[in-house]
Structure 1
Amino acid sequence: MLRLFFALFLFVTPLSVLAAPVEITAPGKQNIPLALTSLITETPPLARPEIPTTFREALLSDLTLSGLFSFIPDEAFLDDASHLGLTSNKIDFGQWRILGASALFKGAYRFEKGQLVVEARLFDVAERRLICGRRYRGSVSDLRRMAHAFSDQILKQLTGIKGPFASRIAFISNASGKKELYLTDIDGSEPQQITRHRSIVLNPDFSPVGKELIYTSYRHGKPDLYRREIYSGSETRLAAFPGVNISGRYRPDGREIAITLSRDGNSELYLIGTDGTLHHRLTENYAIDVDPSWSPRGDALVFVSDRIGNPHLYIYDLVEQKEHRLTFNGKYNATPDWNPTRDSIVFSRLEEGQFDLYTISPDGKQEVRLTETPESEEHPRWSPDGRFIVYSLGKEGHHAIYLMRADGSGVRRITSPSDNSTHPAWSGGW
């Protein structure tokens, strides 16, 4: 069973470092010089040196991925500058201005009644005031998630939109010898095996309204759809219609699931309820229709069909009950995912024996290639804030999970290639 930690709100004031919110999809155009100090201890007899190190590493990793910051080198910090007070009246902002810092992170930790308490604060150096602060309580094992949660708050203050760093990533790995479902933090730390079906598990998707996810499993010999509650571990076989039950995706309001079924002999798109009841069929043709993904408003689906001979992307309008072809380039287009906050669809395309990632606007007028490497990049999924992409990269028969920004920059690996990980999915806020 997974555990939660609790964050208590302290205070937030307007940010004056920036005249306007920053757009993360254009990294490097406005880098904020940040001085990132280490946590200091407020209970010296109980000091644990690994706590400030771990917290700082997680915070630095998140903020580097954001592309918003440049970092003041630690060796440039003036004597004791990182160990002075946590309140504005105890901070010598003049020292930090000399170093060129526009923003300053300060924090402290202590133990109360066996619990770890972390104070995290971000300051505007020029204005000499607090931007935002949080107090977190939990166990030492929650430390990285506390740092991720504060990274989210920093992005919210700078961009107006909460970051995705406290969210979780599901993926499929055969590290155990079988394709099973795993969960990990955004930096790949603390991966946890969720299923033990000793079979094949595929295509996870998180509920937008609850701490649960769906996935396809061959546990009973054929592909059926399962639902699992994250914290209790309760699992239900949700859809077991004759034939395949694959590619389940929650509607943005969480009330329905788009899925590919072959109950009538051909693989078509259907809508089912979250209790597994069949609502209605969407597509009807001789071809295979798979991999649906919802528009942000839940009024359309992008999906893959080979109805012209090769797999291409199509859009189904649920209001008009009409569909049209979206992609006309390439011979094999697959695994689309509709950005939850922007008019952009990410997908993979087979080029010269390898898959690369592209984005395309829903009207088909703007197509951008994101990757061009000797490896295969597949199964892309957007972050809940629509500013990052998680995907699998395959090389010499081994796959790992990677992250990047929406423009293809900031690439980083979060799982080991030896674990052969594929089919990532990104949760909402936790």
Structure 2
Amino acid sequence: MKFVKLICQVMATLLLVSGAAKADIQLEIVTSGSQQYPIAIIPFQNEIGLAQAITPVVSTDLGNSGLFKVIAAGDVAPQPFSSGEINYPALQAKGAQTALVGQVIPDGNQVTVRFWLVDLATKQELIAFEKRGNASQTRRLAHQIADMIYAKLTGKTGAFASRIAYVLKTPGRYQLQVADSDGYGAQTVLASRQPIMSPKWSPDGGKLAYVSFEKEKPIVYVHELATGKRIEAANFKGSNSSPAWSPDGKQLAVVLSKDLGSQIYVVNADGSNPRRVTQSGEINTEPSFLSDGRTLIFTSDRGGSPQIYRQSINGGEAVRMTNSGAYNASGKISPDGRSMTYITRSNGYRVAIMDLATRQSMVLTDTNADDSPSFAPNSQMILYETDVGRRGTLAIVSADGRVKQRLKAQGGEVRQPAWGPMLR
């Protein structure tokens, strides 16, 4: 949440606790990368009749990345199902440089998928692979295949086989939802008439930590997705907010107002053993762990305006990380540890990225009401919320700012996104 919003939230929360208690999203490309890889995709043999045909998902994943020009090649005759059956001149005439062919072998509740990615100029097999999986989870298999192709042709890890979490707000109702990275298959984890905020994925992708107002005050919960079991990880006097997981999943950083102002604490994931980290500033919020598990970044007003700081969880001096501009907040370190994304005030509130080695920063977005940035597990994309037509929606921008996507909800406003780890 933007720092100015947070101040209003803290004030409202303190009044609340001190007195009486009074479906799917669709991804679309906005801008594409400057270089696109032309790839022909031929429908796999026997994929019709599966719970989810594979090649449509692969085509959509690669096309929506903005880095691939997907060429439909289902009309090539004879239709190839292995690398040895490819009609090279016909596919090259369509402008393709590579081709994906494959076949599905059903086996009861399981399927075996064999596929080849072939360079059409050299006739070299770039990928020759076989994957076996549950017949009901062919969409996940398709995302994994798309990740393999993305990695082979771009040299960077893909992130299609991952999930996102977000809050869908409709009149009088809040829903914490989980969906595939492309917005497909949204499932409601929690529904409430009271606000739900700040979902964060555990490192293994099996749990979500979030804030719920269902008991008429903000409480941090840890929710196990497979079983639906949840616990109160932070329910102290006053406000409990802004959870963030440690890399090993054993601890949470949380923001508590049980003492003066809003201060950052570290607690065990079951809510035990709270330890205070910050000691100064009226508002310290939005903590996020570094990969060492011993250091946090967070937003603080201790210098007179919202800025991002770094500090050991064992205390010590806080080091300011942002030194330009009067407003910088919501910092998150990339999974590869090389960058930090954050919200900066620059003709509105926009997503920025900092190279941690050089400390050089760049504004990535041209929208002006951005919030809650979150890195993809491959560090190449950033998911965030923004306003389009005064309606909350989700958007994605590449780490170089060249590719922009938008995730449009079928109904309601979508806020507070978090990008989860890769599915195994």
**Shared fold (TM-score greater than 0.5)?**
yes
More deviation, 213-222/121-130: 121-130
Asked if the contact 1:134/1:150 (under 8 Å) is kept, the reply is no
Counterpart in 1 of 2:69?
Answer: 70
Whole-Å separation in 1 of the counterparts to 2:105 and 2:127: 22
Unaligned runs of 5+ in 1: 1-25
Q: SS at 2:55's partner residue?
A: helix
Counterpart in 2 of 1:302?
Answer: 297
1:399 deviates by 0.6
1:104 deviates by 1.4
More deviation, 325-334/263-272: 325-334
Pairwise mapping of residues 9-408 of structure 1 onto structure 2 (< 5 A)? 27-29=33-35, 31-41=36-46, 47-48=48-49, 52=53, 55-72=54-71, 74=73, 78-80=76-78, 83-86=79-82, 88-93=83-88, 95-97=90-92, 99-109=94-104, 111-113=106-108, 118-125=113-120, 126-129=122-125, 131-139=127-135, 142-158=137-153, 162-175=157-170, 177-318=172-313, 321-352=316-347, 354-362=348-356, 365-373=359-367, 375-408=368-401
Are the structure 2 counterparts of residues 262 and 347 from structure 1 closer, same or farther at C-alpha, using a change threshold of 3 Å? same
Asked if the contact 1:327/1:364 (under 8 Å) is kept, the reply is no
Asked if the contact 1:302/1:316 (under 8 Å) is kept, the reply is yes
1:398 deviates by 1.1
Name the amino acid aligned to 1:39.
F
1:318 deviates by 4.6
Aligned residues: 391
Name the amino acid aligned to 1:175.
T
Deviations 1:209-237 (A, max 9, x none): 35111111112111111011111111111
Whole-Å separation in 1 of the counterparts to 2:315 and 2:358: 18
Name the amino acid aligned to 1:426.
W
Whole-Å separation in 1 of the counterparts to 2:142 and 2:343: 32
Are the structure 2 counterparts of residues 144 and 50 from structure 1 closer, same or farther at C-alpha, using a change threshold of 3 Å? closer
Asked if the contact 1:296/1:339 (under 8 Å) is kept, the reply is no
Asked if the contact 2:116/2:125 (under 8 Å) is kept, the reply is no
Asked if the contact 1:253/1:298 (under 8 Å) is kept, the reply is yes
Asked if the contact 2:300/2:308 (under 8 Å) is kept, the reply is yes
Asked if the contact 2:117/2:127 (under 8 Å) is kept, the reply is yes
Are the structure 2 counterparts of residues 74 and 176 from structure 1 closer, same or farther at C-alpha, using a change threshold of 3 Å? farther
Name the amino acid aligned to 1:381.
S
Are 1:411 and 2:404 counterparts?
A: yes
1:403 deviates by 1.6
Are the structure 2 counterparts of residues 252 and 147 from structure 1 closer, same or farther at C-alpha, using a change threshold of 3 Å? same
Name the amino acid aligned to 2:420.
S
Whole-Å separation in 1 of the counterparts to 2:366 and 2:252: 33
Counterpart in 2 of 1:23?
Answer: none
Deviations 1:44-100 (A, max 9, x none): xxx549954xx333212221344443334549x6433xx2232x3333445445555
Name the amino acid aligned to 1:231.
A
Whole-Å separation in 2 of the counterparts to 1:211 and 1:134: 27
Name the amino acid aligned to 1:339.
S
Deviations 1:105-163 (A, max 9, x none): 112335443656544432333243351423343345x3432211211222343456542
Whole-Å separation in 1 of the counterparts to 2:233 and 2:192: 15
Identity of matched residues, % = 28
Asked if the contact 1:156/1:162 (under 8 Å) is kept, the reply is yes
1:306 deviates by 1.3
Whole-Å separation in 2 of the counterparts to 1:426 and 1:367: 22
1:327 deviates by 2.0
Are the structure 2 counterparts of residues 50 and 194 from structure 1 closer, same or farther at C-alpha, using a change threshold of 3 Å? closer
Q: SS at 1:59's partner residue?
A: helix
Whole-Å separation in 1 of the counterparts to 2:129 and 2:254: 43
Are the structure 2 counterparts of residues 102 and 297 from structure 1 closer, same or farther at C-alpha, using a change threshold of 3 Å? farther
Counterpart in 2 of 1:19?
Answer: none
Asked if the contact 1:270/1:283 (under 8 Å) is kept, the reply is yes
Name the amino acid aligned to 1:321.
G
More deviation, 149-158/167-176: 149-158
Q: TM (normalized to structure 2)?
A: 0.83
Asked if the contact 2:282/2:301 (under 8 Å) is kept, the reply is yes
Are the structure 2 counterparts of residues 153 and 185 from structure 1 closer, same or farther at C-alpha, using a change threshold of 3 Å? same
Name the amino acid aligned to 1:422.
R
Counterpart in 1 of 2:16?
Answer: none
- RMSD over aligned CA atoms reads 2.8
